[in-house]
Structure 1
């Protein structure tokens, strides 16, 4: 019987041998960024890589998602390793697509390199037969919750129900056979070391807002119009006036953008559109802030005598980290980078749809150093692919080995100790309860 240490050595050496290919794969994805639910080329490249290793992935899940499952030498739990397919839109980024402005300013291309690295490591000779259970390799679309109006149109067309990839995977039953899950994100913060374990993240709801006014000649007869842009500006000021009512411990974040401000400078704006997130540490905080935001939006319409249509869309639940699964990862991370280069993180005010998965099963969402610049900014670039792809892949592969070796004793133990916050049915019911669309006449 091969020891766990030997299995890890075999997996790690396989990842190292494939290192150039894995890094080149990640860099190719960097050069061809695609936003959420549009990751056609990216998904094809992931599929081709998987098939080149002998996998038979299921494709087209939630439009562009991919899932491949491999079985160990005996039955046991299923561990999922995930990576995200999508990019942001940051036109100023040096690697931005000149037509779409899409750019990997959050390091998802490195995630896909890590994911393929875990595949390579676990498919190394002798590894899988020594494990009990299955491993699901999953590439999910649309983690970055952007282009809300466009995605809401997909929902209206019946192509998706939720606007994020992992909620769609949950809805479609693609995680029904998964017992625990992990993925690794890159970080550019040097204080977070080479590998780090996440704590918690904010949850969110998303909003698409349309102010309705009346067009008129902006110079000759502005009194005949109803200025929808003024309604939006009043609403924004009202939101700002409410910021002092948010408790510091709730880490509320509200950051609207105007996506349409009018059609011509000579015409009173009659159709003004906004998108925003409402974020908070807990869903209670999110929903409280959301009520205040709705009040502000209605006030803007009321002030000018216009109308406002407010569409509230389910976003992501706060991230929860399973401490027992995190402890398994921690030991492997320290073995790879040393205790001095490992960090335990606290609460982060960004959001991820891995939070949704964490309400259903044990989840970890560690971070790998190697990037520079500001996350979601024009200068965010992965510099150290050795750490951000290869070391991160080894840490996850070794964690899977620890979970599923020895008859999957550790995975069974973690599963037995874990108490899910929600069942799948409860999750879907809650998410659907967040949706609303109302028009208010001022």
Structure 2
């Protein structure tokens, strides 16, 4: 860390604190205006307006709603500060939008406010840093309407608004928005009752396996033997899947959750259509592939047992997250003075997922968790109650980390890049992602 870093950080912190109430108010404002993935138009417009007021020239409309602006310093690496625009669909949440069912039950609004705040601070010192900063608001961290994405292959490829991937950072990678970025930081609010700050946590990857069963309707009272019960085929598949749970290796950290839906036919008829949709989570790409195949095998078994037709679609949602330890060190070093070293956790494994895992496959990333929320993620009780902890403090420590990374000839950033070479190039990553998607049809009638 250069001798100038304390002075530069003091200037950054002073600028952020000067507008701390506005940053916290932005977080609260966005929390009350949730929007679903790939449709976050008002949120993106608000973030772009903040950046424009700071004298920046944001690009908008990336992957439909994404926003990107640059803070220029001297020649050197480029660090991305990333926030997520979307809310998730949870219509029973008390702050849900009544029209869309979207609710900020994961705290993404605080990320946008934190990046807006960091931009204010870094704007004071960029002339003395050896590198640049990309401020990126990404759409659709939550997968959203998976059925629509699974069926999107039927849409005309030339449609200008068509997206290929269910999560936004993957789509931004495909469209080249990260081509000029060397490393990325994102601070996510933690769960209520969790650590005040956490860094270096690993997260699962996930995919969705949708099995659609087609049978044959018949009179359920007088001639059920003439029918093929698709709903029972899905139920048999679900029982087979449950029987597999204890057989997954401990190191794979597999999590399965599924839903069964049947057709809307008459109660007196044999159900002729049903679907089993499963979210598959695992700690590694190989483990994810093994677990997804187990789900597909269970679906085949259900179809075979009842003599039904089954169409099985697999769609990759997220790749697993492993952050860069050297980059985590820089972030933690800047969080210590704000939060206190005794309240910091490190290196947990979490069964949740994030598309920061996708970025981690092509560049070093850090994905710390902040405080400020109560309740459990993705639940009706989740809500940011302390916007300073959720948005202002991350603005301070993320901006401080940028000063450390890009000061003194960007020595720290270059050290991180040497120590944490990415596992894949972007073309290799895109090939991996596309290669994990597949469709299979079995006719058992």
Name the TM tier (shorter chain): over 0.9
Cα 1:20–1:236 shift into 2, 3 Å? same
Instruction: Note the aligned Cα RMSD (angstroms).
Output: 1.7
SS for the counterpart of 1:76 is coil
Structure 2 matches for 1:272-287, cutoff 5 A? 272-287=274-289
Q: Does 1:346 align with 2:348?
A: yes
Cα 1:288–1:15 shift into 2, 3 Å? same
Q: Distance between the aligned counterparts of 2:220 and 2:67, measured in 1?
A: 51
Contact 1:143/1:165 (<8 A) preserved: yes
Q: Does 1:91 align with 2:99?
A: no
Deviation at 1:264, TM superposition (A): 4.1
Which residues of structure 2 form unaligned runs of 5+? none
Deviation at 1:390, TM superposition (A): 0.3
Q: Distance between the aligned counterparts of 1:259 and 1:84, measured in 2?
A: 31
Cα 1:332–1:85 shift into 2, 3 Å? same
Q: Distance between the aligned counterparts of 2:286 and 2:324, measured in 1?
A: 21
Q: Distance between the aligned counterparts of 1:219 and 1:32, measured in 2?
A: 51
Q: Distance between the aligned counterparts of 1:15 and 1:268, measured in 2?
A: 64
Contact 2:28/2:387 (<8 A) preserved: no
Which residues of structure 1 form unaligned runs of 5+? none
Cα 1:61–1:156 shift into 2, 3 Å? farther
**What's the CA shift string for 1:26-71, capped at 9, x where partnerless?**
2222112112112122222222222222221111111111111121
Contact 2:404/2:412 (<8 A) preserved: yes
Q: Distance between the aligned counterparts of 2:205 and 2:365, measured in 1?
A: 16
- Aligned equivalent of 1:428: 430
Q: Distance between the aligned counterparts of 1:20 and 1:104, measured in 2?
A: 20
- Aligned equivalent of 1:213: 215
Contact 2:188/2:368 (<8 A) preserved: yes
- Aligned equivalent of 1:162: 165
SS for the counterpart of 1:286 is helix
Number of residue-to-residue matches in the alignment: 438
**What's the CA shift string for 1:390-428, capped at 9, x where partnerless?**
011101010011111112111112112222111112111
Contact 2:214/2:274 (<8 A) preserved: yes
Structure 2 matches for 1:397-436, cutoff 5 A? 397-436=399-438
Q: Distance between the aligned counterparts of 1:54 and 1:219, measured in 2?
A: 72
Deviation at 1:310, TM superposition (A): 0.7
Deviation at 1:266, TM superposition (A): 4.1
- Aligned equivalent of 1:49: 50
Deviation at 1:341, TM superposition (A): 2.0
Cα 1:218–1:13 shift into 2, 3 Å? farther
Q: Distance between the aligned counterparts of 1:416 and 1:288, measured in 2?
A: 32
- Aligned equivalent of 1:58: 59
- Aligned equivalent of 1:187: 190
Contact 1:148/1:208 (<8 A) preserved: no
Deviation at 1:361, TM superposition (A): 1.1
SS for the counterpart of 2:77 is strand
Contact 1:229/1:262 (<8 A) preserved: no
Q: Distance between the aligned counterparts of 1:156 and 1:275, measured in 2?
A: 20
1:250 to 232, 249, 252: 252
- Aligned equivalent of 1:375: 377
Cα 1:316–1:9 shift into 2, 3 Å? same
Contact 1:228/1:269 (<8 A) preserved: yes
Cα 1:437–1:7 shift into 2, 3 Å? same
